[in-house]
Structure 1
């Protein structure tokens, strides 16, 4: 949650952004929408309650940041909030221009100005961009003579926002600090984050933790078996030791990680080369010394489940000591021998 009781929705302008391929229109508002206090509080909760600012983003452009049009328009709103209505039209037009995927839904587009939004204990003014695409059916019950009358109506479900971003007025020179919600699968359409906002993930402790765990898992499961003679049980031990390192430590240090987890000098060199190739291919730079982010570790934890799959008959889930697993072969075929103290 990024707001508290003192967070205020100061200004809001609403437009409708349709899908061009569906012959839908762009309809812009000529004035800001003026709300009473009750409606402001209701909308503040609707817009902001679903944000979990663990993964943060920033505006970018492959040539120059000031060529990112949303960045430029938002910057002008921060300088002069009274320009919100005019800038909202320009933002709506930009969104309309990229709404060309047949699966993109038209919907109301809200441009908001907030004060006293909270991020990591600090308060900032913020610009919010939101789009409501899905309509739910609601039932209305009203008295009618000696009975009751039932009617249905289509409306916006205030439990969740479909698409949104909060742009905090901080670190402008880096593309601001941005938290994002996109309820649509990135596999279906990326028009909100990539085409409209043009964002990239901010390099912070979450990013470094996430990327280090990602590249290490890829190395263990893909590269290591190609270079070294290693069993599935050995791979499981590498994965368990690495995720436990991240769970137990507060700070990541590459040399310490190498000594405690990788251990072998040839494996350490191989991982270093693999990490360098990964950074070049993905066009990222991953720090070798950073504070470990527990939220990123928790999210990656499920992908670090160590499973040995044996034909279609058995799966062995490895959680602990590699020494309790032995592998062999006899006249009946290959086998694993597991040692344990207690059956549960």
Structure 2
């Protein structure tokens, strides 16, 4: 759903935000950070900021309780920047001040706030500009070992940041402005005080539209067939491909998804249906992404997922069998004389 491999940093500003309830203050930098002469740091920052979003399946939108998006501070300043009405650095300062104002729970930790301008982030198959806002709250001690006078010297960094552990982050994608943009969120803190990031700072709600419902369901079903069914059922590769082909035919031929209908027409087996429901529920809980039992099927999402639905059986390095339907015309066996497995295919015409 979200890809950052081709994304690039345009600008970066760093500020520090304290806990307002503890009478800590914020510190705003005077200008953005210059990364133009550093060949290593941009890649490290990209890993730190963007890698956690690889599992961000849920897409959000900004909102405001009064139904006026202009009253949502993050939306307002992001829009001002996207519309070229304020500079990037001014926007980053305003967002940091807003974050400070909502940091009123006594357990909220102070930390650095990184605001970045991004180009070529890809979401749902399209590339867009975006803004990233990230906060680092937890520091770790790191050891450094380096050669010295025929041996090695040991040193440490007491308050360092682990680039594999982003605490909080949000990516605001410059698309669907009138609906509140497309927003992706990461929050690794589970304590009750952590809700300030989503609820107080960002004020976001689940987008969860037909595109996302379609894509997520097809992804979960595909993973279920390829990874989970083997735990309970003995299936040949052709059987799995048949299950995937049947699901793809369903999504291509129907206008509306109905969960019960899908289970009966595509899965069929009651035990497999029960297993799939459990697998689906685990996905909903892990990614906080509930499925609807009925929704309109989004054709662009089906087209996007079709490339992930593999219908090929690879036999050694000699043959590839593409299975597009008619599972009953495909048989497998073992030849005792040759000591090899074989496939037998039935067909009416050769082209």
**TM-score per shorter chain, which class?**
0.5 to 0.7
Comparing 82-91 and 194-203, the one that deviates more = 82-91
Q: Deviations over 1:89-114 (max 9, x none)?
A: 11111100111112211110011101
| Residue of structure 2 in register with 1:43 after alignment | 45
Any residues of structure 2 matched to 1:126-275 within 5 Å, and which?
126-153=130-157, 154-185=159-190, 187-205=192-210, 250=251, 253-254=257-258, 257=261
Which position in structure 2 is the counterpart of 1:61? Answer: 64
| 1:124 paired residue among 102, 125, 128 | 128
Residue deviations 1:19-57, cap 9 Å, x none?
Answer: 123332200011011113422222122211110342100
User: Residues 81 and 168 from structure 1, CA distance in 2 versus in 1: closer, same or farther, beyond 3 angstroms?
Assistant: farther
What corresponds to 2:234 in structure 1? Answer: none
Deviation at 1:85, TM superposition (A): 1.0
Q: Is the Cα–Cα contact under 8 Å of residues 2 and 49 in structure 1 kept in the other structure?
A: no
Q: Does 1:25 align with 2:43?
A: no
Residues 13 and 33, structure 1, Cα contact 8 Å, conserved in 2: yes
Secondary structure of the 2:141 match is strand
In structure 1, list runs of 5 or more residues that go unmatched. Answer: 213-243, 262-283, 295-344
Q: Aligned partners of 2:262, 2:154: CA distance in 1, in Å?
A: 67
For the pair 1:103 / 2:104, whether they are aligned, the reply is: no
Distance change in 2, residues 1:59/1:140 (3 Å): same
How far 1:143 sits from its partner (Å)? 3.2
Contact 1:117/1:124, CA 8 A, preserved across alignment: yes
Name the residue aligned to 1:322: none
C-alpha RMSD of the superposition:
3.3
Q: Which secondary structure does the structure 1 equivalent of 2:115 belong to? A: strand
Please give the per-residue CA displacement for 1:102-160, whole angstroms capped at 9, x wherever unaligned.
22111100111011111122100001111011111100123343443212112111113
Higher mean C-alpha deviation, range 123-132 or range 178-187: 178-187
- Displacement of 1:189 in angstroms is 2.3
Residues of 2 paired with 1:259 and 1:45: CA distance?
39
1:291 aligns with 2:297: yes
CA distance in 1: counterparts of 2:11 and 2:93, whole angstroms: 14
Going from structure 1 to structure 2, the CA distance change for 1:136 and 1:287 (only over 3 Å counts) comes to same
Aligned partner of 1:84 among 71, 82, 88: 88
Deviation of 1:81 after TM superposition, in Å, equals 8.3
8 Å Cα contact 1:54-1:206 kept in structure 2: no
Within 1, Cα distance between the matches of 2:263 and 2:118? 48
Structure 2: which 5+ runs fail to align? Answer: 218-242, 266-289, 303-351
Structure 1 residue 162 displacement after superposition: 1.0
Q: Give the direction of change, closer, same or farther, for the CA distance of 1:104–1:77 in structure 2 (3 Å limit).
A: same
Q: Do the aligned partners of residues 86 and 68 (structure 1) sit closer, same or farther apart at CA in structure 2, a change above 3 Å counting? A: same
